[in-house]
Amino acid sequence: MSKRHHGSTLDDFLRGEGTFEEDQALAIKEVVVWQLTDAMQERSLSKSRLAALLGTSRSQVDRLLDPRRDVTLSTLQRAAALVGRKVQIELV
């Protein structure tokens, strides 16, 4: 017996609510923050140390690691490089 899904998908629901793009952007930011935080932990790099290496304040690093805040691509690239990663963006 085949299980069939009934109803709409989450994407369809969010589009109907008018929040799909905003929710998708937040989800992407959350993944990027998780990856950056994970890389910081792998290198035993504290927020304070990352701030010093970036030449900025600890509060700026807190904003960088807050998925609800907008971050410039150049800031993200600099932070990624400091933890041995790079930023890759793809349009689909």
Tokens 């701030």 label which residue?
Answer: 51
Q: What is the pLDDT of residue 3?
A: 67
The pLDDT value recorded for residue 5 is 67
Query: Can you give the pLDDT of all 92 residues of the chain as single tens digits?
Result: 566 767 788 888 888 888 888 989 999 999 999 999 999 999 999 999 999 999 999 999 999 999 999 999 999 999 999 999 999 999 98
Q: What is the CA radius of gyration of the chain?
A: 17
Q: Are 54 and 61 in contact (CB under 8 A)?
A: yes
The residue range of the domain holding 44 is 10-82
- Residue 4 maps to a domain: no
Identify whether the C-beta of residue 38 lies closer than 8 Å to the C-beta of residue 31. Answer: no
Q: Total domain count for the chain?
A: 1
3 lies in some domain:
no
Q: What CATH number is attached to the domain comprising 24?
A: 1.10.260.40
- Residue 15's pLDDT is 86
What pLDDT is attached to residue 86?
Answer: 96
Task: Let me know if residue 64 belongs to a domain.
Answer: yes
